[in-house]
Amino acid sequence: MQYYRDKGFFDARIIERKGDYDKKKKVVNFTFRLYEGERTKIGDITIEGANELKEKDILKIIGIGTGDWFDDYKIKRGVFFLTREYSTIGHIDMKISYDIERERNLVFLKFKIDEGEKFYVNDVKFTGNKDVRDKIIEREIRIKKGDVYNLNRLFETQNRLYGTLLFSDVDYEIKKVSNDSIEIMFLLKEMKKRWFDFGLGYESPDKLNFEINWGNNNLFNNLQRLKINTRFAYKFNLTYNFNIQFSYEEPYLLGKEVQFFLKPEYRFYKDTSFTQDIRILNMSFVKFYEQTMLSLILNMRQAKVDTSGNFIDTTDYKWTNSIILNTFSEGRDNIVNPLNGFYLFCSVEKAGGLLGGYNRFIRFELENAIYKGIKNSTFCFRVKTIFTLPEMEEEMISQDARIELGGWRSIRGYDEGEIGVLDQRGKRSGLDIILINTEFRIKFLKRFYLVFFYDLGNNYLRIKEINFKDVYAGTGIGFGYLTEIGAIRIDYGRKIEKESESYKGKLYINIGHPF
């Protein structure tokens, strides 16, 4: 009956109990008759002892008001949030209690707050670093000597130290050194700065994917990072593609909290009807604002397509020089296996003009994914749109600047480059896409889950050709197992439209979720 009382049914009681013995099943079935009574509302609320925060702010944090239904669990949760709020303004010893007086169907609440002393930071120390320089750690600490103690700043520092990828464990201890000052000690455990990983994937009927990555997270012992990523995909008809990218990161450009990335990349594609050679140089400037990332990218791309079959220089390289502005907002509770939250990506790209180069266009991109947990399941929804405003004939924009659609990360059941307008390579591509993905992930046995998915979209050469009735769709089922490095998934997808009897659908084996 405690549950009823916590919800404001103070007169609730059991008025009858009865037990029946089932001889066949050898169990006793109990039946209870309850009297709930009237539910109680909150009458008046008084607060004593609060000086740092206003009464209206305290009630907003606790989440209650006059006339609300009495809910003891909600009040206790609000008290916890209020304690956390006080810990951000120096009151680490703050205590709060509340009394309840009932009068008929109303309860009157009296909160008693003992704020305690306001504490200041006397010193911030750290221990456990052997190879990592003190300067790197000090740069990430967000709570300084002389500051009012702030629990949020402490957590932010902890997250930033983890974010350096140099520590496997970041803990802290708080020690009182006087009646109003504390000392903070961060306890660090270093991890190896050099790392190596690899990935494997399969897509039916005959595509194998390999990925090998190597990196150094503290290249010059000043938090500079170097990463080398290689990817290779092979089909049994002797077609393949190869990609290698070098990524250098300067985390504090000119001593400021701006990250600088330099990424040279080489891509080579060999198909039965064409070969494609792409060389890229990418320079990025990145700034973080809490959960939002803002980036400015200078991109220079040189590409050539040869359809003669022998990769002779029959065509010239075409340059695409562009400047890109991106924003990315992260709101997922877990980026590896999200249960709730969202992410939002927006991009504007300008190619050509004063930047020079062959291709000339303005491109807008928007991608938004939402995750909603429902008991042991998660509903996932993503919408992605790309619109291109060409400053030249659409057909003249080179293949490397076009967009491909189809495959595991877009519309399952289709090959990559199967949706769109036929191009010079014999594949399909476009300039404007609309893509919608839905997944329902059902978790069972702690780490296993079942996935049902439905994808739809299309790829167009011109914006005016967009027709929401003219879309391609794929659906299917997946099975996965959650590991420390991500989800291992096996998905089977089929096209919704009718296909020949030889079409068997697509089987995908990958690490991670498609979105």
Dihedrals phi, psi of 81, to nearest 5 degrees = -60, -35
Burial class (CB in 10 A: 0-12, 13-18, 19+), 28: exposed
Give tens-digit pLDDT for 36-85: 888 999 999 999 999 999 999 999 999 999 999 999 999 999 999 999 99
pLDDT at 4: 83
pTM of the model: 0.79
Q: Take residue 232 and report the two structure tokens written for it.
A: 């290779």
Q: Is the pLDDT of residue 104 over 70?
A: yes
**Cβ proximity of 320 and 303 under 8 Å:** yes
pLDDT of 159-183, one tens digit each?
A: 999 989 999 999 999 999 999 999 9
List the single range of 279-283, 408-412, 508-512 with lowest mean pLDDT.
508-512
Query: Stretch 8-25: mean pLDDT, rounded?
Result: 85
- pLDDT given for residue 18 in this prediction: 86
Kindly tell me if the per-residue pLDDT of 236 is higher than 60: yes
Whether residue 328 has pLDDT greater than 80:
yes
Rounded to whole angstroms, the Cα distance separating 32 from 30 reads 7
User: What's the average model confidence in pLDDT over 25-40?
Assistant: 86
Q: Which fold has domain 194-511?
A: Porin (2.40.160)
Closest by alpha carbon to 460, among 367, 515, 366, 386? 386
What are the backbone angles phi and psi of residue 251, rounded to the nearest 5°? -70, -30
Count of beta carbons in the 10 Å neighbourhood of residue 307: 14
Quote the CA–CA distance of 55 and 69 in Å, as a whole number.
Answer: 20
What proportion of the chain, given as a percentage, has pLDDT over 90?
A: 75
Neighbouring CB atoms inside 10 A of 282's CB total 17
41 alpha carbon, distance to own chain's centre: 40
Question: Mapping DSSP to helix (H, G, I), strand (E, B) and coil, where does residue 189 land?
Answer: strand
Residue 444 has pLDDT above 80, yes or no: yes
The backbone torsions φ and ψ at residue 43, rounded to the nearest 5 degrees and listed phi first, read -90, -105
- State the burial class of residue 205 (Cβ atoms within 10 Å of its Cβ: 0-12, 13-18, 19+): exposed
Model confidence at 157, pLDDT cuts 50, 70, 90, reads very high
**Which residues fall within 8 angstroms of residue 365, CB to CB, at 6 or more apart?**
345, 346, 347, 348, 349, 384, 385, 386, 387
CA 285, CA 297: separation in Å to the nearest integer? 6
| pLDDT in the model for residue 336 | 87
Secondary structure of the chain: what % helix, strand, coil (to 5)? Answer: 10, 55, 35
Confidence grade of residue 232 (pLDDT, cut at 50, 70, 90): very high
Q: What is the CATH number of domain 120-190?
A: 3.10.20.310
408 token code pair: 């595991």
pLDDT tens digits, one per residue of 266-310: 999 998 888 899 999 999 999 998 889 999 999 999 999 888 655
The ranges of the chain annotated as CATH 3.10.20.310 are 41-114, 120-190
- pLDDT one-digit tens code per residue, 459-481: 999 999 999 888 999 999 999 99
Q: Provide the token pair at 89.
A: 């303004």
pLDDT, tens only, 350-395: 999 999 999 999 999 999 999 999 988 999 999 999 999 999 999 9
Tell me what pLDDT residue 311 has: 46
pLDDT of residue 314: 45
Average pLDDT, the chain: 92
Question: Per-residue pLDDT for 29 more than 70?
Answer: yes
Q: What was the pLDDT predicted at 23?
A: 83
CATH assignment, 41-114: 3.10.20.310
| Pick from 240, 228, 307: nearest CA to 268 | 240
Contact 209, 233 (CB under 8 A): yes
| One-letter-per-residue 3-state SS of 96-112 | EEEEEEEECCEEEEEEE
Q: From CA 419, how far away is CA 459, in angstroms rounded?
A: 6
Strands of 23-94, DSSP E:
27-35, 41-48
